Amino acid sequence: MALLDRAIARVLPAVPKPLVRALASPYIAGPTLEDAVAVVRRLNGEEKLATIDVLGEEITNDDEAREIARAYHRVLARVEGEQLDANISVKLTGLGLGLDYALCRENLQSLIEDARARGNFVRIDMEDSSTTDDTLRLYRELRAAGYANLGVVLQARLRRTLGDAHGLENVRLCKGIYLEPPEIAYEDPDEIRESFRATLRALLDDRSYVGIATHDEELIEDALAQIRARNLAPTKYEFQMLLGVRSARGDELVHAGHRLRIYVPFGTHWYEYSVRRLQENPKIAGYVAADTVRRLARR
Ligand code: FDA
């Protein structure tokens, strides 16, 4: 399977755009904010919360970074206007991290302030390991400056993660999508799982609010056991899943009384996003292929 996965990821750039679009469509709300609003409204109707991601391509100058920030301001205004239960997830490189730390901080701060004024929240997605230090630094600086409506992400794949977990008030914990060199990252799936479990334990010991972001049944079961053992109220944590992935399991979590937040990406850069994500983690290409075969078989 691994070989097939890798082969699928490698040929993806040669796959016709409409096919990639069809493959990626269950995971993306659509090209417009309107599409995202419609998806979030449906999710909220199913008692699921959302976090909205504006798909952006790599930026090359300050104006592009400011334009992405403006797009997120429009999302925040729309979420409030429509009374949706959704926050936003931002990528710091999109806000200018690769160009200038100060520009990125300025863009992020304007979003946190806007979100705070609207009673909303900003999650900083975690990107590849070249950004980990700056991302944690920005999170800590802005939390220390009094912004309580800001959260960050930790990736269990990275060997450093358990060490990073201390003192973070609001964390999404995931495995990590970026393939990193073995010196800094676990490669064995069981080691990644063990790192996830240990980091979750450390975060809960620290009384952090954790977004448990996984579709891996083993990790969901472990999280449920940790939650039960600590007798945690459902307001003290949440589960998180990607749009279009394991939605039936998501329904079960909601019906059992847990909070569940769905990651909802939208935007015109769906193609670049899809290809990059599929290539970043060849395993996912395998899921997508298997899922497509299943869908076709059902017709
Ligand atoms: P795993 O990959 O083992 O998947 C478990 C099972 O879920 C699979 O067996 C399959 O059934 C199903 N599945 C998973 N992905 C699927 C897909 N795309 N299509 C169909 N089925 C699928 N990463 C990162 O580096 N930085 C970040 O900021 C974030 N943010 C983030 C937010 C949220 C809400 C989620 C859920 C995930 C992320 N991620 C992320 C991605 C994360 O790091 C990881 O790559 C994926 O969640 C897949 O890992 P799982 O833990 O789900 O396990």
Distance 174 CA to ligand 1 centre (A): 7
> What was the pLDDT predicted at 126?
97
- Whether residue 249 sits in one domain with residue 215: yes
- Whether residue 298 sits in one domain with residue 192: no
- Whether residue 283 sits in one domain with residue 189: no
> What was the pLDDT predicted at 24?
79
The CB of 177 under 6 Å from ligand 1? The reply is yes
- Rounded distance, CA 238 to CA 142, Å? 23
Q: Which of 5, 53, 125, 164 is catalytic?
A: 125
The CB of 284 under 6 Å from ligand 1? The reply is yes
DSSP state letters, 175-225:
--SS---TTTB--SHHHHHHHHHHHHHHHHHTT-EEEEE---HHHHHHHHH
40 inside domain: yes
How many distinct structural domains can be found in the chain?
2
253 inside domain: yes
> What was the pLDDT predicted at 288?
59
Closest-CA residue, ligand 1 atom 43, reads: 176
- Whether residue 37 sits in one domain with residue 24: no
For the chain, which residues score pLDDT lower than 50?
1
Q: Which of 172, 193, 197, 277 is catalytic?
A: 172
Q: Which of 132, 237, 287 to mutate to test the pocket of ligand 1 (most atoms within 8 A of CB)?
A: 287
> What was the pLDDT predicted at 277?
61
- Whether residue 151 sits in one domain with residue 285: no
> What was the pLDDT predicted at 11?
67
The CB of 280 under 6 Å from ligand 1? The reply is no
Distance 214 CA to ligand 1 centre (A): 6
- Whether residue 242 sits in one domain with residue 127: yes
The CB of 246 under 6 Å from ligand 1? The reply is yes
256 inside domain: yes
Distance 215 CA to ligand 1 centre (A): 6
pTM for this entry: 0.91
189 inside domain: yes
- Whether residue 147 sits in one domain with residue 293: no
271 inside domain: no
125 a catalytic residue: yes
137 a catalytic residue: no
User: Given the CA of residue 189, which atom of ligand 1 is nearest to it?
Assistant: 3
218 inside domain: yes
> What was the pLDDT predicted at 23?
74
- Whether residue 150 sits in one domain with residue 20: no
- Whether residue 257 sits in one domain with residue 146: yes
Could you report the per-residue pLDDT of 62-109, keeping only the tens digit for each?
A: 999 999 999 999 999 999 999 999 999 999 999 999 999 999 999 999
Q: Residue 24: which of 206, 279, 299 has the closest Cα? A: 279
186 inside domain: yes
211 inside domain: yes
> What was the pLDDT predicted at 8?
61
> What was the pLDDT predicted at 283?
57
Tell me, what amino acid is at 18? P
- Whether residue 16 sits in one domain with residue 57: no
The CB of 65 under 6 Å from ligand 1? The reply is no
- Whether residue 257 sits in one domain with residue 235: yes
- Whether residue 210 sits in one domain with residue 297: no
DSSP state letters, the chain:
-HHHHHHHHHHGGGS-HHHHHHHHGGG---SSHHHHHHHHHHHHHTT-EEEEEE--PPP-SHHHHHHHHHHHHHHHHHHHHTT--EEEEE-TTTTTTTT-HHHHHHHHHHHHHHHHHTT--EEE----GGGHHHHHHHHHHHHHTT--SEEEEEETTBTTHHHH-TT-SEEEEE--SS---TTTB--SHHHHHHHHHHHHHHHHHTT-EEEEE---HHHHHHHHHHHHHHT--GGGEEEEEETTSSHHHHHHHHHTT--EEEEEEESTTHHHHHHHHHHH-HHHHHHHHHHHHHHHHH-
Closest-CA residue, ligand 1 atom 24, reads: 176
Distance 219 CA to ligand 1 centre (A): 12
List the CATH number of the domain containing 259.
3.20.20.220
The residue range of the domain holding 288 is: 1-28+278-299
Distance 273 CA to ligand 1 centre (A): 15
